[in-house]
Structure 1
Amino acid sequence: MKFQATQLLNGKYSSPNPSMKVFLLTSSLVLLTMVPLSLTRYSHSSYPNPKINISISESIELEKCDIFSGNGVSDPKGPYYTNETCHLIIDQQNCIKFGRPDTEFLKWRWKPDECELTRFNATHFFELVRGKSMAFVGDSVARNQMQSLLCLLAGVANPKDISLNYTSNTNFKRWFYPEYSFLLATFWSPYLVKARDTDPNGHSYNVNLMNLHLDEVDTAWSAQIENFDYVIISAGQWFFRPLVFYEKGQVVGCSKCQLEKIVDRTIYYGYRKAFRTAFRTIRNLQAYKGVTFLRSFSPAHFENGDWDKGGKCGRTKPLAKDEIRPDWYIMKLYLTQKEEYRAAEKEGKKRGLHFGLLDTTEIMFQRPDGHPNNYGQWLHKKVIVNDCVHWCLPGPIDTWNEFLLYLMKKEARASFRRN
């Protein structure tokens, strides 16, 4: 049984009976704890494409609507879940648990200009991903979205933690839903490429100098995602640290490093090269047949100072469109991402790969009210800062997974037509 289940996760064993697939996986979870993580790669599903029940009106909207152009509107229904109905919220984003007194930030939802954005439907989601796998690759904001998804799904099914060697590490988690044979994973990679902290004690929240090898991918994720069906990739805030850039093993410049005799390069140089390497790696994975989504840059909302200089984000309402003043440097990062995404999408088509853009940047400028601020407990308890980077759960980040489900339905419809 151990041999068969391991082969199943590696894509080397398939059963003609889907229920046998679920049986093998669920009955072997204990045995699999003895299997190295490198052996537990999930395979592309052999399940046929699900026949998603999409109404005629929704089908038309899938064809024409730009869901990322719109505005926030009042939502009397409120959030999908609470911190009492979802027990998977980590303290860092558990704003209500840690005393946030206002709740108006929970009573808004996104309304596209041209259509209605369908509310998240966990049953529809599970039908799309039955027998499949999904990975979130990036930093703690990527993990934040994954945790939002866990809570959105909790009303229908709860997962088993099969994180193996990483059980105590929230940066590398694997959740399995046996009822749907669905694997959900998160891979910590804040730069997407190979990175080394010059501090011998490793990563800290001090501003340590980082060495980035812009042409070498981070194998912490690239060695794991080849057999995943959906990969959501993102990166952002860590690029504001002082960075030394390497290519072909040689220093080619740095950003904010203040080192003599090294070419001063902008953050955008490193950001572009990192995404280019990440997308090239995905395209070159021989067995990869999944759908890749780029989740665009998520803006922070520090006011009256940076994160380490007393900045806060205490607003309680969204901004109207005419109140938004986008930071130019964030928009430049966003445009850099989109340019690399478009190039990757074009090249990917030559291999029959499919890409999607989860465009969250401009819409999240409207939500300075959605951050934990001081209503959360950081994982690194010695550090006391206001968190204006991550998002409360429940909160505005749940919209990202409404977008994700919408794009997955659209891709499923396109796949059905192709086949």
Structure 2
Amino acid sequence: MKFLNIDLLCGNNTQKQTISKVTILAFIILLIFSLTTLSCSMFSYYSLLKINKYKQSNIAIDDLSEPQSSPSTPVKKCNIFSGEWVPNPEAPYYTNTTCWAIHEHQNCMKHGRPDSEFMKWRWKPNECELPIFNPLQFLEIMRGKSMAFIGDSTSRNHMQSMICLLSRVEWPIDVSQVNDLSFKRWKYLSYNFTIANFWTPHLVRAKKTDSNSVLFNVYLDEFDETWTTQIKEFDYVIINGGQWFLGPMVFYEKQKIVGCQYCDIENVTHLNLNYGIRKVFRTAFKAIISLENFKGITFLRTFSPSHFENGLWNKGGNCVRTKPFRNNETKLEGHNLELHMIQLEEFKIAKKEGIKKGLKFMLLDTTQAMLLRPDGHPNRYGYWPNENMTLYNDCVHWCLPGAIDIWSDFLLEMLKMEGMRSTSKKMLHLLKN
């Protein structure tokens, strides 16, 4: 290891001194971890004194008093995205009556879903434990920072889940810059923490061919300025996409038609799913990397599979299962596998390019975990059964509370591990200098 060969501050680099230096390094890192734990406990006590001011629910908050301060794998590495769903009788950590952030079409209990077991599972990685999301600890990490959710309606679904999970500590206030549900901003005043949602279902510039059509013109090489001009200020950016690329589209590059998908246009080449989705993620990542003065961390949240059975979404397809799959009961295949592999490949390219500019990209790989949750969707419980309009079963979005809450478990664990890595690197740098 390189630091073993660096001269000590007060003498020659002897064997004895080298050993002492390693010992000192280990002691300092251990001390930092201990201080972090103490600090988090103090922050937790302070925050608990304030909870009554913000509490809007009858959910117990005793479990918030001692937040986890270390990652789930202090010794060996663990792939937190590989595992199984296991029962969690303590869940949910909020309800549809205690969180106002749940939109009607994800309020499954309100609209008559008869079972409740879909809310009582947690994710268990194969090689470690994944701590349940702790709102106090998350808000302390996010103090003075900002986070943007960029993508389609599952991105908004994620933000709503996070607001509900954080509601045991504090409710945010609306600081939106425009009166549009697709571009909301919320601020947690006690922590000076802002979250925002930017609606961009295709990630690049896109528009309907006409108001009555389901066909979109998608400009594969053009930035969508509704979000690319807005995220420079954010400390964390979570980008996602996928579902909208399963529909009819006309692809443009350099302002010219290069092909289409699921369209019936004469003399236009039909291109498969792979072409459009790859180009789109490449352009979206290029947009982030090209931003001047952007120093934030970018997360790619991977594709979240739908679970239509017994037909397509518009042909009577539904999702009536009431418990998760086991790993050996299903597998990633077809367009789900294609989308996931393309996202991973483009992420690796972007991560490599980002390093050249000092930017960090992190993979929030939720695909496998969500593949195993056919029970987590609203299905027909996102609306009243007597509504006088044509409605389809929703096997794309996620009930709240429910399976989607795991995304915040993943996110917090990644933030903690990244914080530990950054601290270790700083200590090594100090010792080297």
TM-score of the superposed pair, with normalisation by structure 1: 0.83
| Residue 100 (1) aligns with residue 116 (2) | no
1:138 to 130, 148, 151: 151
* Alignment match, 1:310: 316
Compute the displacement of 1:381 (Å).
8.1
| Residue 223 (1) aligns with residue 238 (2) | no
CA deviation vs aligned residue, 1:113-157 (integer Å, no higher than 9, x gap): 010001100011001110000000000001000100000000001
**What SS does the corresponding residue of 2:102 show, helix, strand or coil?**
coil
* Alignment match, 2:160: 147
| Residue 349 (1) aligns with residue 355 (2) | yes
Aligned residues: 358
Query: 2:240 and 2:269 mapped to 1: Cα distance?
Result: 27
| Residue 188 (1) aligns with residue 194 (2) | no
RMSD over aligned CA atoms reads 1.7
Compute the displacement of 1:53 (Å).
7.0
* Alignment match, 1:374: 380
Query: 1:53 and 1:210 mapped to 2: Cα distance?
Result: 46
* Alignment match, 1:238: 244
**What SS does the corresponding residue of 2:74 show, helix, strand or coil?**
helix
Query: 2:315 and 2:73 mapped to 1: Cα distance?
Result: 49
- How do residues 48-67 of structure 1 correspond to structure 2 at under 5 angstroms? 54-55=69-70, 58=72, 60=74, 64-67=77-80
**What SS does the corresponding residue of 1:272 show, helix, strand or coil?**
helix
Query: 1:335 and 1:80 mapped to 2: Cα distance?
Result: 33
| Residue 406 (1) aligns with residue 392 (2) | no
Query: 2:91 and 2:193 mapped to 1: Cα distance?
Result: 28
- How do residues 148-227 of structure 1 correspond to structure 2 at under 5 angstroms? 148-166=161-179, 169-200=180-211, 208-227=214-233
- How do residues 42-53 of structure 1 correspond to structure 2 at under 5 angstroms? none
* Alignment match, 1:128: 141
| Equivalent pair of 2:68/2:134 in contact (CA under 8 Å) | no
User: Which residue identity does 1:386 align to in structure 2?
Assistant: N
Query: 2:183 and 2:389 mapped to 1: Cα distance?
Result: 22
- How do residues 272-287 of structure 1 correspond to structure 2 at under 5 angstroms? 272-287=278-293
CA deviation vs aligned residue, 1:340-379 (integer Å, no higher than 9, x gap): 001001111111111111111111111000000011139x
Query: 1:172 and 1:383 mapped to 2: Cα distance?
Result: 27
Larger-Rg structure: 2
CA deviation vs aligned residue, 1:73-98 (integer Å, no higher than 9, x gap): 11111211111221211111000111
* Alignment match, 2:34: none
* Alignment match, 1:331: 337
User: Which residue identity does 1:116 align to in structure 2?
Assistant: E
1:68 to 81, 87, 90: 81
1:86 to 83, 99, 111: 99
2:400 to 382, 393, 396: 393
Compute the displacement of 1:382 (Å).
4.0
**What SS does the corresponding residue of 1:397 show, helix, strand or coil?**
helix
Moved over 3 A (4+): 380-383
| Residue 114 (1) aligns with residue 114 (2) | no
Compute the displacement of 1:418 (Å).
3.7
User: Which residue identity does 2:418 align to in structure 1?
Assistant: E
| Equivalent pair of 2:300/2:363 in contact (CA under 8 Å) | yes
Query: 2:328 and 2:119 mapped to 1: Cα distance?
Result: 22
Query: 1:297 and 1:410 mapped to 2: Cα distance?
Result: 23
* Alignment match, 1:4: none
Segments of 5+ residues of structure 1 without an aligned counterpart are 1-51, 202-206
| Equivalent pair of 2:73/2:128 in contact (CA under 8 Å) | no
* Alignment match, 1:293: 299
CA deviation vs aligned residue, 1:276-335 (integer Å, no higher than 9, x gap): 000011011011100100000000001111111111101101111111143321101110
Query: 2:298 and 2:231 mapped to 1: Cα distance?
Result: 11
Give the 3 Å change call, closer, same or farther, for CA 298–58 of structure 1 in structure 2.
closer
Give the 3 Å change call, closer, same or farther, for CA 70–381 of structure 1 in structure 2.
farther
Query: 1:373 and 1:80 mapped to 2: Cα distance?
Result: 22
Query: 1:360 and 1:381 mapped to 2: Cα distance?
Result: 36
| Equivalent pair of 2:72/2:130 in contact (CA under 8 Å) | no
Compute the displacement of 1:396 (Å).
0.3
**What SS does the corresponding residue of 1:410 show, helix, strand or coil?**
helix
Query: 1:285 and 1:236 mapped to 2: Cα distance?
Result: 23
CA deviation vs aligned residue, 1:203-243 (integer Å, no higher than 9, x gap): xxxx6111111000111110100110000000111111111
Query: 1:193 and 1:73 mapped to 2: Cα distance?
Result: 38
Query: 2:377 and 2:365 mapped to 1: Cα distance?
Result: 19
Query: 1:349 and 1:416 mapped to 2: Cα distance?
Result: 19
Query: 2:252 and 2:420 mapped to 1: Cα distance?
Result: 42
* Alignment match, 1:256: 262
**What SS does the corresponding residue of 2:231 show, helix, strand or coil?**
coil
Give the 3 Å change call, closer, same or farther, for CA 53–75 of structure 1 in structure 2.
closer
